[in-house]
């Protein structure tokens, strides 16, 4: 089958859609399909390449960059023109607007071609739900395509509510091998000590994400302050908080750490490449993710793969993470408040959860049992359900069923 992906961004451009499309396209090529990607070039020139995986990439000129709307209109026209010469069996657009309109119209003209559109965070939160101007166009794109995919159940409900179309669930996958072996990445000296000068165990908490309000890093800092004020916890543990990522909230978060008087406990590492992020996951003790909303939450899969225990927001509108994680089995899910996350941090390290039987083990040992249980279950889940091979085969099964109906 000849599969054509339409995507606004693709490697080497850094971004979630870029990374996901690359991994997805590569795996489909491995499974024996002819895969073509049409995307924008970062310059005004046209470029064609064949990647090592066999995926063919057409990079179209990025014109009229002074206006996003005009640029996307011309990009859509160029994409449609390129499609006319490719004779695709399946066209998959990685956005509702404008590429979902392109895939929908193309399959209307060429009825043997199946069209697919997939909604990501911006497509749903800002365009379908958040914009009265763009909502009719989003609805048109959704209704025009043969199959509509959502990354999480929450987004699926929003798509059905605003368009009347029932979306199918298509999760992202993760590279199961990347980062598991020793990668030789040097970590800061703060990781070298397992205990502080008074003999307390040093606990390293990790947050990874863009520093914007939606990600909830401020909740992590406020919860860390509550934990550090807990005498029982403080008698056994010292706390270090590692924040990876950059964004407009950086200065506010630095100021908050200072106001909370925990600035010596918080380390802002900025952006870093994916292998180094995985190394930090390997070195830290718990991943804390107080996010307000996620289209999917690929970073959660990465933490699961690295056997890093997870504490995450549990509200239904969080999106992807609550689909991926199971409370008490693969993660600890808590209310999105500083108090709840503080209690979660103390529970995951220090609370006897009553599953060891004897009741004579130390609190730290019972906490270790709980963390090991979570990380073991999470690792097994990601290995079983979230490899790109499993995701791609599930995708192809859905496409096969849809082709039979058509």
Q: What is the pLDDT of residues 293-316, one digit of tens each?
A: 999 999 999 999 999 999 999 998
Reading the block at residue 53, the tokens are 């995986």
Question: pLDDT tier at 336 (50, 70, 90 boundaries)?
Answer: very high
Model confidence pLDDT, tens digit, residues 74-127: 999 999 999 999 999 999 999 999 999 999 999 999 999 999 999 998 899 899
pLDDT over threshold 70, residue 50: yes
Q: What are the tens digits of pLDDT across the range 231-242?
A: 989 888 999 999
pLDDT for position 63: 86
Question: What single string gives the DSSP state of each residue in 324-352?
Answer: H--BTTTBEEE-SSHHHHHHHHHHHHH--
pLDDT above 60 (res 364): no
Q: Stretch 193-208: mean pLDDT, rounded? A: 84
Q: How big is the chain, counted in residues? A: 406
| Pair 206, 284: CB distance under 8 Å | yes
Contact 184, 273 (CB under 8 A): no
- When pLDDT is averaged across residues 314-340 and rounded to a whole number, the result is 94
What domains lie within the chain, and their CATH numbers? 2-173+388-405 (3.40.50.2000), 189-385 (3.40.50.2000)
230 Cβ neighbours under 8 A, 6+ residues apart: 342, 346
For residue 172, which of 277, 27, 20, 321 has the smallest C-alpha distance?
20
Q: What are phi and psi of 90, to 5 degrees?
A: -145, 130
Which pLDDT score is estimated for 367?
66
Q: Quick: pLDDT tens for 15-40.
A: 789 999 999 999 999 999 999 999 99
Cis ω for the linkage preceding 98 (within 30 of 0) = yes
pLDDT per residue over 129-163, tens digit each? 999 999 999 999 999 999 999 999 999 999 999 99
The average pLDDT across 271-298 equals 93
Is the peptide bond prior to 12 cis by the omega test (within 30 degrees of 0)? Answer: yes
Calculate the average pLDDT of the chain: 91
Assigned token pair, 148: 């509509």
Q: Using CA atoms, how far apart are residues 382 and 390, in angstroms rounded to an integer?
A: 10
């Amino acid at each position: 089958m000849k599969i054509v992906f339409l995507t606004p961004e693709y490697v080497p451009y850094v971004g979630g859609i870029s990374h996901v499309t690359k991994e997805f396209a590569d795996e489909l090529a491995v499974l024996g399909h002819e895969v073509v990607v049409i995307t924008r070039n970062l310059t005004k020139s046209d470029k064609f390449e064949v990647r090592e995986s066999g995926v063919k990439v057409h990079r179209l000129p990025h014109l009229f960059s002074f206006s996003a709307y005009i640029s996307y209109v011309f990009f859509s026209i160029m994409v449609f023109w390129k499609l006319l010469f490719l004779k695709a069996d399946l066209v998959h657009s990685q956005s509702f607007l404008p590429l979902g309109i392109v895939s929908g119209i193309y399959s209307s003209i060429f009825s043997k071609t199946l069209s697919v559109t997939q909604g990501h965070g911006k497509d749903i939160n800002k365009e379908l739900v958040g914009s009265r101007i763009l909502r009719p166009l989003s609805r048109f794109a959704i209704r025009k395509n043969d199959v509509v995919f959502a990354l999480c159940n929450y987004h699926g409900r929003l798509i059905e509510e605003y368009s009347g179309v029932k979306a199918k669930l298509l999760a992202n996958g993760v590279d199961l091998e990347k980062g598991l072996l020793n990668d030789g990445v040097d970590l800061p000296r703060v990781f070298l000590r397992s205990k502080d000068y008074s003999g307390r165990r040093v606990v390293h908490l990790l947050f990874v994400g863009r520093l914007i309000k939606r990600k909830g890093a401020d909740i992590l800092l406020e919860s860390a302050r509550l934990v550090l004020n807990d005498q029982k916890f403080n008698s056994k543990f010292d706390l270090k908080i590692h924040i990876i990522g950059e964004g407009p909230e950086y200065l506010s978060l630095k100021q908050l750490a200072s106001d909370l008087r925990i600035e010596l406990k918080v380390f802002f590492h900025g952006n870093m490449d994916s292998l180094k992020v995985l190394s930090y996951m390997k070195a830290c003790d718990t991943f804390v993710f107080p996010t307000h909303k996620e289209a999917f939450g690929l970073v959660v899969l990465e933490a699961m793969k690295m056997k890093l225990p997870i504490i995450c927001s549990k509200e239904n509108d969080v999106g992807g993470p609550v689909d991926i994680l199971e409370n008490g089995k693969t993660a600890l899910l808590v209310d999105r408040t500083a108090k709840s996350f503080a209690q979660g941090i103390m529970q995951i390290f220090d609370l006897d959860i009553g599953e060891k039987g004897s009741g004579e083990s130390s609190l730290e040992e019972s906490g270790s049992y709980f963390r090991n249980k979570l990380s073991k279950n999470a690792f097994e889940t990601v290995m079983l359900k979230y490899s790109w091979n499993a995701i791609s085969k599930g995708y192809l099964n859905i496409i096969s069923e849809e082709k039979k109906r058509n």
